[in-house]
Structure 1
């Protein structure tokens, strides 16, 4: 394995973080905040260690699979480590464990937080916190592919380890164009949402921060009460719209805008995803109304926002769901497990795998009736490769094993069952909030340090889709 090529790519990752840290420093500097020096030193550290490899490390054309995999995994880990720097230097609630947890939660777009007083943070730190979402949303390694000149072989190797095979089903472009399409859609959605939120009453700072979190399906807010703080139906509708868009495959969004054949309106995956979410909204809203908790329109308003927020793994909240009926909590937990579509900024299990699972279930039922027949599973007329079917089933089983194992570990720390179970699912799915002590308007501050560390590993496993971590471990062995 060539260390120099890994170091060179990791240098670009550090530079990317350095740019956003410098912007955060400028915000703190002009507002004369206490975080100014912490952000400046963090930016300088990232800049210096990022530039050196680009200048002094010799360029290498060929890159192996193991090197590509190492770049992807280490890129995420190093990003999370440097993300801790401004938190630790500034202090406040940020102990070593809390800074690590908040950094991992930001970059993996999970949105779980240890903060109890978010509004007391300097604006520079708040902007950096939101930036970690935006950097992690599209994937730190995709930024490397955009910035660093790549030979075809190197680009394909890194691309194949960063992007799951599920998300490639809706792309018919070369690898370089796919990266640019993802970036263009990502930036465009961020700009449009920022403008829309300002039209409905948010100031620019809040608008850009919430756009970063929405498009990345992250969930970090600048307010203690999340979106509930604004109590603005227009803002909630805008955020719901962009959460749904961000939970869909970016290739399909591009295809819709460019009037391509493969678009949101023709994709059975996209239509089923939205339909399932619509059913979830109806079930939750009706239960809230029939239970006499809210009137019908308030039930629909709160039910729709919470289902969309968890179903797209964003994690924003307009109400605390801790006292909702258990039926509604179970529905929300389902959406926390299902997650959004591949090719989006969502982490976790992915709706595509659930869709393929039910396709395979249908095929198995047909085989019971006609054992000598041959059946082929298809999505939008495309045959599902048998290898992809096998990977899907293995991944689902592995996913369930991981969140149950995490739940057991957390309960061994005397964390109550619902908190442990929902926190495990919420972090592995990169969703953010759970129930009980980690509910939608709560935080993870009360959990023991070891529990926070375990859940941060969960976040990385969810964002890197477990297989990459296991593959790297097997290669090292």
Structure 2
């Protein structure tokens, strides 16, 4: 394994972070904020350590899968470490473990926070928090793919290490072209949402920050009450639309815009995903209304936002779900487990795997009736490889095992059952809020330090999809 090549690619990662740290520095500088020096030093550190490998490490035309895997995993880890710097230097509520938690939560687009008073933070810090979402949403490695001057083989290796097999099913392009498609859709959605939010009364600063968080399906807000602070049906509608778009495979969105055969309107997977969201909204709406919590239209308004927010792993809030009927909480917990589609900015289990699981259940029932039969599972007319089926089942089992083990650890730290269970699911799913003490309008500040550390591991496992971490551990020296 060529260590110098790995270090060189990590240099690109540091430079990308340094660019956004410099923008945060400019915001703090022109607003004369206390975080100015913190961002200046953080940007300089990223710049210096990022540029040296590019200057002194020779170019190579080959990189193997193991090296690509190390670049991906350590790219994420070094990014999270760098993300801590401005928090630690600025101080406030950011102890070492709190800065690590906030950084990991941001880059993995989880959106869980330890901050009690978000609105007291300098705007430079607020912008950096949102930037960590935006960088992490599309995957920092995919950004690097766009600027890599190396060979096609290197891009393919890193791409294969970063993207799960199930995400590739709707892409029929080369690695660099896929990165370009993702970037085009990502940036376009961000611009359109920013404009939409400004039209409904948000300031430019709030609009760009909430767009970063929405399109990345992250959930960091500039307000203590999240989207509820604006109390605007128009703003909520805009956010709902873009949360749904951000939870759908970007390849299908691109295909729709380019009038290709593979598009949103022809995808049974997209139709099923939207149908499940509608069913969830209907169930929560009816329960809220029948329980006398709100009138029907208010119930529909809150249910629509919360189901879509958790179902796309965004995590914004318009109401405190901790006080909702237990039935509605169970429905919402299901959506934090299911998550949105592969090929989107959503984290977690992914709807595609849930959809495939039920396909496999149907296949097994048919085999019980016809043991000698040959049955093939398909996604939108494409045959699903049996290896992918097996990988999906193993992933689901591992995923469930991780959040159950995390729940046990958290309860051992004297955290109540609902908080522990929902926090475990919300962090591995990169959703953000849970229930109990970490509800939609709550935060994770009261979780013990060891619990926060465990939950950040959960976030990384969810974002890197477990297999990459296991593969890294099993790499032979």
Residues 296-340 of structure 1: CA distance to partner in whole angstroms, max 9, x if unpaired?
Answer: 000000000000000000000000000100000000000000000
Look up the match of 1:326. Answer: 326
Aligned partners of 1:364, 1:171: CA distance in 2, in Å? 28
Aligned partners of 1:454, 1:213: CA distance in 2, in Å? 24
Residues 354-393 of structure 1: CA distance to partner in whole angstroms, max 9, x if unpaired?
Answer: 0000000000000111111100001111000000000000
Give the ranges of 4+ consecutive aligned residues of structure 1 lying more than 3 Å apart after TM superposition: none
TM-superposed CA distance for 1:175, in Å, is 1.5
Look up the match of 2:356. Answer: 356
Look up the match of 1:7. Answer: 7
- Secondary structure (helix, strand or coil) at the match of 2:475 reads helix
Residues 213-256 of structure 1: CA distance to partner in whole angstroms, max 9, x if unpaired?
Answer: 00000000000000000000000000000000000000000011
Work out whether residues 218 and 314 of structure 2, in 8 Å CA contact, stay in contact via their aligned partners in 1: yes
Aligned partners of 2:348, 2:359: CA distance in 1, in Å? 20
Aligned partners of 2:416, 2:435: CA distance in 1, in Å? 11
Q: What TM-score do you get using the length of structure 1 for normalisation?
A: 1.00
Aligned partners of 2:386, 2:152: CA distance in 1, in Å? 27
Residues 43-101 of structure 1: CA distance to partner in whole angstroms, max 9, x if unpaired?
Answer: 00001100111111111111011100000000000000000000000000000000000
Work out whether residues 348 and 465 of structure 2, in 8 Å CA contact, stay in contact via their aligned partners in 1: yes
Aligned partners of 2:414, 2:425: CA distance in 1, in Å? 18
Aligned partners of 1:201, 1:349: CA distance in 2, in Å? 35
Look up the match of 2:42. Answer: 42
TM-superposed CA distance for 1:150, in Å, is 2.6
Aligned partners of 2:159, 2:335: CA distance in 1, in Å? 28
Work out whether residues 317 and 440 of structure 2, in 8 Å CA contact, stay in contact via their aligned partners in 1: yes
Look up the match of 1:370. Answer: 370
Work out whether residues 60 and 150 of structure 2, in 8 Å CA contact, stay in contact via their aligned partners in 1: no
TM-superposed CA distance for 1:403, in Å, is 0.3
Look up the match of 2:225. Answer: 225
Look up the match of 2:292. Answer: 292
CA RMSD of aligned residues (A): 0.6
Greater Cα offset, 56-65 or 116-125:
56-65
TM-superposed CA distance for 1:153, in Å, is 1.3
Aligned partners of 1:287, 1:104: CA distance in 2, in Å? 35
Look up the match of 1:449. Answer: 449
Look up the match of 2:306. Answer: 306
Look up the match of 1:91. Answer: 91
Aligned partners of 1:98, 1:241: CA distance in 2, in Å? 32
- Secondary structure (helix, strand or coil) at the match of 2:443 reads coil
Q: How many residues align?
A: 477
Look up the match of 1:153. Answer: 153
Look up the match of 2:141. Answer: 141
Q: What TM-score do you get using the length of structure 2 for normalisation?
A: 1.00
Q: Structure 2: 5+ residue runs without aligned partners? A: none
Look up the match of 2:76. Answer: 76
Work out whether residues 131 and 212 of structure 2, in 8 Å CA contact, stay in contact via their aligned partners in 1: yes
Work out whether residues 422 and 434 of structure 2, in 8 Å CA contact, stay in contact via their aligned partners in 1: yes
Aligned partners of 1:254, 1:148: CA distance in 2, in Å? 23
Q: Structure 1: 5+ residue runs without aligned partners? A: none
- Secondary structure (helix, strand or coil) at the match of 1:475 reads coil
TM-superposed CA distance for 1:265, in Å, is 0.8
Aligned ranges 1:19-30 → 2 under 5 Å: 19-30=19-30
Aligned partners of 1:12, 1:409: CA distance in 2, in Å? 36
Aligned partners of 1:324, 1:209: CA distance in 2, in Å? 28
Aligned ranges 1:189-204 → 2 under 5 Å: 189-204=189-204
TM-superposed CA distance for 1:476, in Å, is 4.6
Aligned partners of 1:238, 1:476: CA distance in 2, in Å? 49
TM-superposed CA distance for 1:143, in Å, is 1.1
